[in-house]
Amino acid sequence: MSRSSLWLSLVVLALPFTGVTFLIYETVGFNWSELNDEAWRASLAVTLYVTLTSTLLSLMIGTWLARTIYMKRSSWLASLLKWPMFVPHVAAAYLFYLLFSGGFPVYGLFEANERNHLVVILTYVWKEVPFVFLMVVGTYGQLNHGYLDMAKTLQLKPLEQFRVAEWPFLVKPLLDSFWVLVAFISFAYEVPALLGVTFPELLGVLAYERLTTGLFLNAFESYAVALIWTLFIFTGVVASYALTAKQRRRIERGMRR
Amino acid sequence: MSRILVAFLIVFPFIGLFLTFPTSFSWDEAILNTIAYVISIALVNVWLGVGTAWWLLFTESRWKSWVEWLTFLPLFIPVLASMFGMYIALAQVGLIGTYTGVGLVLLVTTLPYSIRLAYNAMYVIGRPLLEQALTFAPLARIGFVLLPLLKESVRTIVLFSTVIVLSQFVLVQLIGAGLIPTVTTRLYQAYAGNDVSQALQNTWVLVSLPVLFYIGLGGIFSIWIRLVKGRLQ
């Protein structure tokens, strides 16, 4: 039973890698200086800004909520936090679009389709906080309370308590969530297409538009950007996991009872 | 106090759903396509996710760490970026614009999450409990032991794959070559045409489908578990 499903899974999971291989094949002989135009440069800057802001905010708020809910045992908030997970990203984007595109009291303070992409960030944070919460709350569930008690007995400041008794165990789930979110947010179409502006566009939106408009004449630009971005994130993943490997392994050994 | 503020921030976007009520509900091809995709992708995800996680946990093989990496890495590849590559690849075998092609890429985006979720759940349940199930025939093993034990994670897998499938616009549009309408692609057309009530009707469908599946599956599971427990008496 498990063997046949393993083979099917392997075939399915090999497809993204096949896709990347085809991208490499297609971009051989591509003139890379074509990417050095204003639209792509502005897009890179705004993509980094939106991705990092929403990812870091989601990680911080998600961890804070997991911590609060674990400490205060408020199960009603934990179940309420599941709600955004039932809303697909597209639907969430449209709901925020309805609220922030005029006619609502907060209009003017926050606004859809403006250059700072605040509503895009807000949508992502709203959608991703429950995901981060889910990734982190398990760690809090199996946290050894002895470490925290020890830190308190040694009269460390609250921030120091967090750093020695909780942070080391959070590194792995937070690192996993960080890269999942960065990979997802930095190269997506659905949310920024509804809530963004025509200049500067996020990488995913610009790449999709260059790919599909004008009889595929600019398709190679999009292929090249998709390839570089994948390799960039891949390098980041490998580097950060290699750097934290020693620490994570020590924690994993210590956690096993 | 801060908890009440957080609760408000979680709930307030749902106000948007009640701004304008959808005028009339029409049952069309897009909705049928969407439901067919959601159900089939969810079923395949549960099957492949649990099966692969079982292999990863219980099989001794020197390829194991490689397989683990292969199931883990696709989470870190931007879906849209690898989709451009898959578009070229699938065009070679003539799957662009077909139902099979779209189904395949939808499976590609959901499966890594499902394997991860199933693996974590089975890791928590632990080897001893699952090993006892090995004496059963495969069907009995799945029906009487695996599904009741994995009730919550099967629901989560179905929820994740449903929500991810419903979120995909570019993927369906690109691989389906615009020939396969779903509720999501309709939402973008309605949005571009400034048709608020049509767009809102599609939003209602997108939000209520995952909720219905989650609650329905919970109901089916509790009935099944009661039947299985009845066998003990």
Angle between helices A167-186 and A118-141 (to 10 degrees): 150
The reply to whether residue B80 touches residue A72, judged by beta carbons under 8 angstroms, is no
pLDDT in tens, A64-111: 999 999 888 888 999 999 999 999 999 999 999 888 876 555 556 677
Task: For residue A94, tell me if it sits in a domain.
Answer: yes
Q: Which residues in chain A touch residue B107, judged by CB atoms under 8 angstroms apart?
A: 12
Which residues does chain B have within 8 Å of residue A237's beta carbon, measured at their own beta carbons? 73, 76
Measure in Å the smallest separation between the Cα of A146 and chain B Cα atoms. 22
Structural domains counted in chain A: 1
A36 within domain boundaries: no
Task: Tell me whether residue A20 is in a domain.
Answer: no
The identity of residue A214, as a single letter, is: G
Average pLDDT along chain A: 88
Specify if A100 maps to a domain: yes
CA A27 to chain B, closest CA, distance in angstroms equals 11
Structure-model confidence comparison of residues B176 and B194, the more confident one? B176
- Total domains, chain B: 1
Predicted confidence (pLDDT) per residue in A198-255, tens digit? 888 899 999 998 888 876 777 888 999 999 999 999 999 999 999 988 888 887 776 5
Mutate to test the interface with A, among B60, B79, B84, B157 (most CBs of A within 10 A): B84
Cα gap A222→A30, rounded to integer Å: 11
Q: Which two tokens stand for residue A37?
A: 């135009």
Copy the structure tokens of residue A67: 């911590």
Q: Where are the alpha helices (DSSP H) in chain B?
A: 2-11, 29-58, 64-72, 79-92, 99-125, 127-131, 138-140, 147-149, 151-167, 170-175, 183-192, 196-230
Mark yes or no for CB contact A88/B88 under 8 Å. no
> Could you tell me the CATH number of the domain that includes residue A139?
1.10.3720.10
> CA B126 to CA A254: how far, in whole Å?
19
Work out the angle at residue B43's Cα, subtended by the Cα atoms of residues B40 and B46, and round it to the nearest 5 degrees.
Answer: 150
- B189: domain range? 29-230
Q: Look up residue B171 and give its two tokens.
A: 């993927």
How close does chain A come to B98, measured CA to CA in Å? 17
User: Which pLDDT score is estimated for A101?
Assistant: 78
In-domain check, residue A75: yes
Q: How far is B80 from chain A (nearest CA, A)?
A: 6
* pLDDT greater than 70 at residue A181: yes
Host domain of residue A251: 45-255
Summarize pLDDT for A52-64 with one digit per residue, the tens: 999 999 999 999 9
Among A16-25, A28-37, B192-201, which range has the highest average pLDDT? A16-25
Is the CB of B83 less than 8 angstroms away from the CB of A20? no
Which of B86, B120, B168 minimises the CB distance to A19? B86
- Judging contacts by C-beta atoms under 8 Å, the chain A residues touching residue B87 are 19
Q: Is the pLDDT of residue B82 over 80?
A: yes
Neighbours of B76 (CB within 10 A): 20
Contact A86 B211 (CB under 8 A): yes
B233 has pLDDT over 50: yes
CA–CA dist A128, A57 (Å, integer): 9
How far is B143 from chain A, CA to nearest CA, in Å? 14
CB contact under 8 A, B16 and A96: yes
Tell me whether residue B173 is in a domain. yes
Task: Establish if B17 belongs to a structural domain.
Answer: no
Whether the predicted pLDDT of B197 surpasses 90 = no
Both structure tokens of A247: 């620490």
Q: How many CB atoms lie within 10 A of CB B30?
A: 20
Mean pLDDT for the stretch of residues B175-190:
89
Dist. CA A105–CA A57, nearest whole Å:
25
**Measured CA distances, B73 to A30, A233, B118, B131 (Å):** 27, 11, 16, 29
Q: Is position A124 within any domain?
A: yes
Distance of CA B63 to the CA centre of its chain: 28
According to the model, what pLDDT value does residue A153 have? Answer: 92
Residue A108 has what pLDDT? Answer: 60
Quote the pLDDT of residue A72.
87
As a whole number, mean pLDDT of residues B1-10 equals 88
- Using an 8 Å CB-CB cutoff, list chain A residues near B159: 85-86
Say how far apart CA A117 and CA A111 lie, in whole Å.
Answer: 9
Among residues of chain B, what percentage have pLDDT more than 90? 52
Percent of chain A with pLDDT over 70: 94
- What is the CATH number for B52? 1.10.3720.10
pLDDT over 80 (residue B22) = no
* Closest C-alpha to B147, from B15, B37, B54, B17: B54
Which residues of A are less than 8 Å from B52 in CB distance?
Answer: 2, 5-6, 9
The residue type of B103 is: G
Residue from B76, B96, B165, B202 whose CB has the most chain A CBs within 10 Å, to mutate: B76
Residues in chain B within 8 Å Cβ distance of A178: none
Q: Tell me if B36 sits within 8 A of B164, measured CB to CB.
A: no
A257 pLDDT higher than 50: no
A68 belongs to a structural domain:
yes
Contact of B161 with B117, CB cutoff 8 Å: no
Nearest to B187 among A94, A138, A208 (CB): A94
In a domain, B11, yes or no: no
Domain-located, residue A81: yes
Q: What is the spatial distance between Cα A110 and Cα A117, in angstroms, rounded to a whole number?
A: 10
Contacts of A68 in chain B (CB under 8 A): 2-3
> Which chain A positions have a beta carbon within 8 Å of B58's beta carbon?
2
Indicate the residue of A1, A88, A187 with minimum beta-carbon distance to B167.
Answer: A88
ipTM of this complex: 0.91
A23: nearest CA in chain B? Answer: B85
Q: Rounded to an integer, what distance in angstroms lies between the CA atom of residue B81 and that of residue B203?
A: 26
B180, two tokens: 């396969």
Q: Which residue of B has its CA nearest to A76?
A: B7
Question: Across the interface, do B77 and A72 touch by the CB < 8 Å criterion?
Answer: no
- Cα nearest neighbour of B20 on chain A: A98
Q: Residue A122: pLDDT above 70?
A: yes
Report the mean per-residue pLDDT for chain B: 89
| pLDDT for the residue numbered A138 | 84
- The answer as to whether B61 is a domain residue is yes
Compute, in degrees rounded to 10, the torsion defined by CA atoms A195, A197, A202, A207: 110
